[in-house]
Amino acid sequence: MRTHKALIAATAAAVLGAAPLLACAVDTDYAKIERGRYRVPAGDSAACRTDEGRKPFAGGRAVPTPFGTIYATNITPDPETGIGKWTDEQFWNAMHEGVRPNGQHLYPAFPYPWFTKLTREDVLAMKAYLDSLPPVRQEAKPPKLPWPMTIRESVAGWNALFFKEGTYRPDSSRSPEWNRGAYLVEGLGHCGACHSPKNFLGGIKKRDRFEGGQGEGWFATSLVGNPHAGLGSWSANEIVEYLKTGANDRARAMGPMAEVVSHSTMYLSDADLHAIATYLKDLPAAGEDHAKSVPSGDDPRMQRGRLVYVDQCAGCHMENGQGIAHVFPAVKGNTGVHAQDPTSLARLVLEGARSARTRAKPEGFAMPGFGWKLSDDEVADLLTYIRASWGNQAAPVTASKVADVRKKIAKGE
């Protein structure tokens, strides 16, 4: 369907004399556009560049950062408000070095620290695809950042500390599949942008990479080999199924990850998904996997939490925590339940979330929110109970943590 549209758009433009709408000649190399067509969603461009209800890739969407909000710019080939006038070299510089045609730095909300790894061939294929799209006239909104971040030159300082430019260099001691996985995870996929912890300046803590991090108000789980809180007990096939269809028998992508699946990973080839799984499965266990001790059943928090669970949660997740196969994930043994940072859990309970609709699994099950009927104490007790029952071994959750998350939700973060 997409190819169809892109091709027809290009042909229509030529045939109907719409050439004045495009400042540059449309690249008619079909194979190149196809390469780009695959890579653009692989980089999950839509997550930032496509605002709901607006034209694809025309920007406008608010991208929350710990420092403020940045509005994604227009990457359709509109000559005035988009990238229609950019040359190949200028596009390469933006992707590889994070620099605009006028020399200004891009904020690292645009993941150039990851896209720097992409080959020039891939980057130019992506440009060819974007150039084939209908141009949309839409101005970018200025970012809402505190001073001194409004001064783009300050990004140079950040780059000096945290940015290492350079195309991905394969590790010859590893298999081609591993290297392909590394290229996708560390480059196009920019998974670490959420799944790695960041320091107070927003730079990745390289030592703890992939051990989980904050992203769009959620906590993105650890991807390292920890058996409880990471991917240690996931098989490669389970990782593939999750990315391709949005769910497997142990988990369902919700919130921002559901978007990643439905805009990006569900379009990847099986070979690429297996490569990603190979790379991820190779990440060694690191950091704390589970709590050293958990409250016992007669702890008052557990008793109170159990009551809430039975009344509110058992309808879908069942009293024994097993969920319903292919429908509602088990909370028993659940990776997300073991996350050290319970932000996502609190968010799910307070606000609910939708899962991804994919071709293989179109149903898009959703979870309702309970924040209107449960107090911070009740949510905390509930999460404490879930995290310490049926063999789960994660630390209790405090009411003040729940209150924090509730405040962030209220602020729209």
Partner 1 sequence: MPKLWRRELLKAATLLPAMGAVAATAPIRFVPRTMPSAGGNPPDYASPPQGFLSPQEKAFVDAAVARIIPADELGPGAREAGVADFIDRQLAGPYGAAETWYMQGPWQAGTEQQGYQLKLSPAQLYRATIREIDEHLAKSPAAKPFAQLDARSQDDFLHALEKGEVKISGDLGKQFFEILVVNTVEGFLADPIYGGNRDFIGWKLIGFPGPRYNYVAEIGEYGRKYDMPFVGIAGRDSPAKEA
Partner 2 sequence: MATRLPSVDVVLVGFGWTASILAKELTDAGLHVLALERGGFRDTIPDFSPATIQDELRYAVRNGLFEEPHRETLTFRNNASQVALPMRQLGSFRPAAGAGGAGVHWNGQNWRFLPTDFVARSHTEQRYGKRFIPADMTIQDWGVTYDELEPHYDAFEYLCGISGKAGNIGGRIDEGGNRYEGPRRREYPLPPLKRCYSTVLFDKAAREAGFHPFPAPAANTSKPYRNLYGVQMGQCTFCGYCEWFGCGNYSKSSPQACVFPVLLGRDNFELRCQCNVTRVLRDSTGKRATGVAYVDVAGRPYEQPADLVILCAFAQHNVHLLLLSGIGEPYDPATNKGVVGRNYAYQITSSVDVFLDENLNPFMGAGALGQVVDDFNGDNFDHGPHGFIGGGYIALWNTGGRPILQHHLPDKTPKWGSAFKKALAENYLKAASIATHGSVMSYRDCYIDLDPTYRDVYGDPLPRLTFDFHDNEHKMSKFVTDRAAEIAKAMKPRAMHVKQREKHYSIVPYQTTHNTGGAVMGTDPRTSVVNRYLQSWDVPNLFVMGACAFPQNPGYNPTGTVGALTFWAAKAIRDQYLRNPGPLMGA
Q: How many CB atoms lie within 10 A of CB 5?
A: 13
Which residue, 68 or 256, is less far from partner 2 as judged by CB?
256
366 scored as a contact of partner 2 (CB under 8 A):
yes
Which residue, 187 or 217, is less far from partner 1 as judged by CB?
217
Q: How many CA atoms lie within 13 A of 149 on its CB side?
A: 18
The residue from 365, 381, 383, 402 that contacts partner 2 (CB under 8 A) is 365
d(CA 46, CA 86) in angstroms, rounded, equals: 20
Among candidate residues 59, 213, 203, 219, the one with its CA nearest the CA of residue 143? 59
The residue from 69, 90, 167, 312 that contacts partner 2 (CB under 8 A) is 312
Binding partner of residue 326 among partner 2, partner 1, none, CB under 5 to 8 Å per kind? partner 2
1 scored as a contact of partner 2 (CB under 8 A):
yes
151 scored as a contact of partner 2 (CB under 8 A):
no
The minimum distance between CB 142 and partner 2, in angstroms, equals 33
250 scored as a contact of partner 2 (CB under 8 A):
no
The minimum distance between CB 367 and partner 1, in angstroms, equals 7
- Concatenate the DSSP letters of all residues of 198-266 into one string: B-TTS-B-GGGTTS-EEETTEEEPP-SS-TTTSSTT--HHHHHHHHHHSB-SS-B-BHHHHHHHHHTGG
Which residue, 287 or 369, is less far from partner 2 as judged by CB?
369
Instruction: Classify each residue of 139-154 as buried b or exposed e, where b means 16 or more C-beta atoms within 10 Å of its C-beta.
Output: eeeebebeeebeeeee
Bridge partners (DSSP) listed for residue 99: 105
Of all helices (H) and strands (E), which one includes residue 385?
helix 376-387
The residue from 8, 12, 19, 324 that contacts partner 2 (CB under 8 A) is 324
Which residue, 18 or 327, is less far from partner 1 as judged by CB?
18
d(CA 343, CA 337) in angstroms, rounded, equals: 10
Residues 6+ apart with CB under 8 A from 3: 34, 37
Residue 76 in contact with residue 108, Cβ under 8 Å? Answer: no
The residue from 120, 144, 326, 407 that contacts partner 2 (CB under 8 A) is 326
Question: Segment near partner 2 (CB under 8 A), from 17-25, 85-93, 311-319, 385-393?
Answer: 311-319
Binding partner of residue 79 among partner 2, partner 1, none, CB under 5 to 8 Å per kind? none
The residue from 67, 178, 364, 403 that contacts partner 2 (CB under 8 A) is 364
Binding partner of residue 8 among partner 2, partner 1, none, CB under 5 to 8 Å per kind? partner 1
The CA-based angle 55-59-61, given to 5 degrees, is 105
267 scored as a contact of partner 2 (CB under 8 A):
no
d(CA 328, CA 87) in angstroms, rounded, equals: 48
The minimum distance between CB 260 and partner 1, in angstroms, equals 9
Residues engaged in binding partner 1 (CB under 8 A): 4-5, 8-9, 12-13, 16, 18, 21, 52-53, 134-136, 254-256, 258-259, 262, 307-308, 310-311, 314-316, 318-319, 347, 351-357, 364, 366-369, 371-375, 378, 409
367 scored as a contact of partner 2 (CB under 8 A):
yes
d(CA 374, CA 383) in angstroms, rounded, equals: 12
71 scored as a contact of partner 2 (CB under 8 A):
no
52 scored as a contact of partner 2 (CB under 8 A):
no
Output Rg (C-alpha) for the chain, integer angstroms: 22
Which residue, 285 or 318, is less far from partner 2 as judged by CB?
318
The CA-based angle 268-120-1, given to 5 degrees, is 35
Binding mask 341-360 for partner 2 (x = CB under 8 A): -----------x-x--x--x
The residue from 21, 24, 140, 316 that contacts partner 2 (CB under 8 A) is 316
Q: How far, in whole angstroms, is CA 125 from its chain's centroid? A: 23
Q: Per residue, what are the HEC states of 216-230?
A: CCEEECCCCCCCCCC
Residues in contact with partner 2 by CB under 8 A are: 1, 312, 315-316, 324-328, 352, 354, 357, 360-370, 373
